[in-house]
Amino acid sequence: MAKVLERKPLTLAERTYLPQILSGLKTTFRHLIKKKVTLQYPEERPPISDNYRGIPTLVKDPEGREKCVSCQLCEFVCPPKAIRITPGEIAEDAPTAHVEKAPQEFEIDMLRCIYCNLCQEVCPEEAIFLQDIYSFSGYSREEMVFKKEKLYEIGGTLPDRHFKWEKKRLAAEHGNVH
Amino acid sequence: MSDEAKDDGLISVFIDDQEVRTKPGTNIIEVAKSIGLHIPHYCYHEKLSVSGNCRMCLVEMGLPGRDRATGKPMLNPDGSPKIMFFPGPAIACGTNASPNMHIKTKSKMVTDAREGVTEFLLANHPLDCPICDQAGECTLQEQSAEHGKGYSRFIEEKNVKPKRTVLGPRVMLDDERCVLCSRCIRFCQEVAKDDVLGFVERGSYSTLTCYPGKKLENNYSLNTVDICPVGALTSRDFRFKMRVWFLKTSQSIDTETSVGCNTEVWSREGKIYRITPRQNDEVNDCWMPDSGRALYQMVEAENRLQTNLVKGKEASIEVALREASALLADGSVAVVGSGRSSVEEQYLLKRLATALDDAPVSLVNRTGEGDGLLISADRNPNVRGALITDLIDELPKAQLSDLAEGIDSGAVETVLAVNEDLTEAGLTAEQLEKVHLVVIGTHQSATTDAADVVLAGMTVFEKSGTFVNQQFRLQKFEMAVPGPKTAMNDLVLLAALLANQTNEKVVSTVDSVWSELSSEISLLHGLSYASLPPSGQLLDASSYEDLPFVEGETLHYKPVALAST
């Protein structure tokens, strides 16, 4: 059975509309004098928290050694298959010859990347990090596949806590050589 | 249950209180394997002698007790035989099953022993899994996950040993990773019979090395890489190329000789990275020659035929097939088949030869010296297939002399060659000039250069099929990678040529050819490609016994003349 709603007649105050206009204007004036929340993007940028997940890049250690040893775990774990690595051997006369392995080529397809952070988490060498960069563009799909050179350029150098390979080199130089 | 072996010659062993019937003398690792229980080990290998030096397979062992004074069995209060367990653990690989032996594999003592061994092995292990080629198929990695602590109590500096020692042209040694299991040494002594490896120094100084002035360069050296439980021995060809977890395996056959080693082809996204042996206890055990592992390089070789050619010019498959059929239809054709073609291709080639007014068929002979192990004297993988499919009725002659005579006398005007280089088989360039030449091939050669029509075919890695090896064992291989986009499966090419001659529909897939093979060839009756077991199917060879096959004795094969001795 249909329910009939009774509409009450408007009071005098309601009929003048003045209280409603005033309360609306109150909100308007409050925001007029409040601190602005809008950012003038792109001139102004929001603060980025430390654990923000921007684009993944390769990093070098403080001594300038490329940390990636092309173990391909990130390529394996990457859910959208954005990473592609061509492994390679480090020449025997190179200063980092004791590391033996480094990527010949390292590509990340930024159009595929979903910024999930799995590559950073899985990396046993702490060589790949998600940076705070969230805005970048290109004119073609090829341009959005970042090559090794570009990844190092963006990634730069990060502090190292372990110096795993340096310790290994020192151990070989003095100490336990058989 | 009695102590003596029962009538069937088997004895009872109790593993974790589960009764297992086994042959006396089987070692405990194999007994456990027969009930699906894996006892961890590094140095033990089923095809090598037992050395018992890794100590990973320690188990608790006991036998029913006997009273010393009376010699009577000791019994528990409930009447069951009392098992006297040894005070310390014993190695399962070096322990042979004896009647009513009891084995514990899950007790505290066994768990502690395994954890202890693992901790000692890891104390000096470099833990460079990220750069180690063995990662993903490493026994140490797997067993450390299962029996390791997950952290290290070893705070001292680790040993440093040489990491890039070249042992031979194909094998590289990383001494730090070596767990001194001696599998490689035993393989070289016992299987390859080339005793060049050994340990020098003692304790943590122990190092695997080659005998001074020698190299690990025998044709079986890469098997040491396969059996190395860790990443100490690595293949120089596969080194740092690709992680194994990306690779897909396909079952294949080594085509270099008539032994027909079972192999696995490891590929990723249409690119082959390595070939390893596949265990077949009737053919090649766990081994294969190094030369067979390099065969994958032919897939991307520089002289690979990428397109079909008509008179040296690129042509579409339709044009090339039309031209080829026109040449063949002119008559006076001679066919040169190949012992490298699969059984199915040989069958279709036989039908094609019959359709071409019973054109004479010759097979190219390819022999070398056998090494008594896995390289036989016949370097064709499938001569016996040609016999079975009736493509030939006698073994191929050393040279294509009949064909050469035919060309010289003008009796042969057109030659159809399948997967063979005729100049290598004894024909001269002038003779090839004289005739019309239709070639199905995979690689550019003097013959394809001289050919009127070249149809680009597939290598063994790009197609499926079967071979018949020297034992008359029918073995199948499967496609590992797709071929070049303009090339065609040889089977399809032959079927198309045959269809053009007979104007009938011809089947061109392996399965459908097999349905014809099984009905038309009595030896293959009841067989099909799909139901062929991975270890192959032995065929009845009695009707071919009299043929003078060139093979000498190899692993698991004795020529008929020698078999009776």
**ipTM of the modeled complex:** 0.85
Residues B204, B107, single domain; the answer is no
Which pLDDT belongs to residue A160? 86
pLDDT class for B158, splitting at 50, 70, 90? Answer: confident
Alpha helices in B468-534, H assignment, sequence order: 490-502, 510-520
Tell me the shortest Cα–Cα distance from B267 to chain A, in angstroms.
15
Helix (H/G/I), strand (E/B), else coil: B260:
coil
B364-402 residue pLDDT tens: 999 999 999 999 999 999 999 999 999 999 899 888 888
Question: Residue A72: what pLDDT?
Answer: 95
Asked if the structure places residue B54 within a domain, the reply is yes
Q: Is A2 on the interface with B (CB under 8 A)?
A: no
Assess whether pLDDT exceeds 80 at residue B138. yes
User: Do B232 and B319 lie in a common domain?
Assistant: no
Residues B166 and B96 in one domain: no
Nearest Cα neighbor of B224 from B181, B270, B268 is B181
Same domain, B420 and B494: yes
Q: What is the CATH number of the domain that holds B440?
A: 3.40.50.740
Domains in chain A, ordered, with CATH? 63-155 (3.30.70.3270)
Between B160, B164, B241, which is nearest A87 by CB?
Answer: B241
B239 touches chain A (CB under 8 A): yes
Q: Is residue B264 part of a domain?
A: no
CA B50 from centroid of its chain's CA atoms: 24
DSSP characters over B125-159: ----GGG-TTTTS-HHHHHHHHHS-SS----SPPP
Render pLDDT for B233-246 as a digit per residue (tens, 0 to 9): 999 999 999 999 99
Q: Of B196, B219, B240, which closes a domain? A: B240
The single residue listed with the structure tokens 């570009």 is: A150
Per-residue confidence band for A36, with pLDDT thresholds at 50, 70 and 90: confident
One-letter amino acid at B92 equals A
CATH number at residue B190: 3.30.70.20
Residue B34 domain boundaries: 11-115
Is residue B343 within 8 Å of residue B474, measured between CB atoms?
A: yes
| pLDDT (0 to 100) of residue A174 | 74
Radius of gyration from C-alpha coordinates of chain B? 29
d(CA A130, CA A122): 12
Residues B136 and B39 in one domain: no
pLDDT over threshold 50, residue B446:
yes
**Residues of chain B neighbouring A73 (CB-CB closer than 8 A):** 130
In a domain, B277, yes or no: no
Q: Is B250 a domain residue?
A: no
Whether residue A171 and residue B160 make contact (CB cut-off 8 A), yes or no, is yes
Flag if A171 and B158 touch (Cβ within 8 Å): yes
pLDDT over 70 (residue A178): no
Residue reference for tokens 């529909």 = B505
**Alpha helix (H) residue ranges in A34-159:** 73-77, 118-122, 148-155
Whole-number Å distance between alpha carbons of A158 and B1? 71
Do B94 and B30 meet the contact criterion of CB atoms below 8 Å apart? no
Residue contact B130–A176, C-beta within 8 A: no
**Res A176: pLDDT:** 62
CA A44/CA A115 separation, integer angstroms:
23
The residues, any chain, with a CB within 8 Å of residue B486's CB and separated by 6 or more, are B306, B307, B308, B317, B456
Pairs from B124-130 (Cβ < 8 Å, separation ≥ 24)? B124/B158, B124/B159, B124/B176, B124/B204, B125/B158, B125/B176, B125/B177, B125/B179, B126/A168, B126/B158, B126/B163, B126/B176, B126/B177, B128/B176, B128/B177, B129/A71, B129/A124, B130/A69, B130/A71, B130/A73, B130/A101, B130/A124, B130/A125
- In B, minimum Cα distance to A68 occurs at B130
Residues B97 and B131 in one domain: no
Q: Which two tokens stand for residue B289?
A: 């020659």
Q: Are residues B415 and B499 in the same domain?
A: yes
pLDDT digits (tens, 9 = 90+) for A113-171: 999 999 999 999 999 999 999 988 999 999 999 999 999 999 999 888 888 888 888 88
Sheet containing B453-456: give its strands across. Answer: B313-315, B308-310, B453-456, B436-441, B414-418, B333-337, B361-363
Q: Amino acid letter at B209?
A: T
Q: Per the CB < 8 Å rule, is B239 touching A89?
A: yes
> Taking the model in full, what pTM does it have?
0.90
Q: What is the CATH number of the domain that holds B58?
A: 3.10.20.740
- A178:B159 CB<8 A: yes
Q: Are B460 and B255 in contact (CB under 8 A)?
A: yes
pLDDT at B5 over 60: no
Residue B347 belongs to some domain of the structure? yes
Q: What is the pLDDT of residue B399?
A: 85
Asked whether the predicted pLDDT for residue B179 surpasses 90, the reply is yes
Q: Is residue B122 part of a domain?
A: no
| HSE-CB for B148 with a 13 A CA cutoff | 18
Which A-chain residues 62-121 have CB contacts (< 8 A) with chain B?
Answer: 69-73, 75-76, 87-89, 92, 98-101
Check if B486 contacts A (Cβ < 8 Å). no
* Residue ranges of E strands in B318-442: 333-337, 361-363, 414-418, 436-441
Query: Cβ atoms within 10 A of the Cβ of B177, count?
Result: 24
Contacts of range A22-30, beta carbons closer than 8 Å, 24 or more positions apart: none
Over residues A85-104, mean pLDDT? 93
Domain count, chain B: 3
pLDDT (0 to 100) of residue B244: 95
Contact call for residues A176 and B160 (beta carbons, < 8 A) = yes
Does one domain contain both B316 and B424? yes
Torsion from C-alpha of B255, B257, B260, B266, nearest 10 degrees: -40
Cα distance between residue B366 and residue B378, in whole Å:
6
Tell me what the pLDDT averaged over chain B comes to: 93
Nearest CA in chain A to B126: A168
pLDDT tens, B23-67?
999 999 999 999 999 999 999 999 999 999 999 999 999 999 999
pLDDT in tens, B485-524: 999 999 999 999 999 999 999 999 999 999 999 999 999 9
In A79-174, where does DSSP find H-type helix? Answer: 118-122, 148-155, 164-173
Asked if B99 and B4 count as a contact pair (C-beta separation under 8 A), the reply is yes
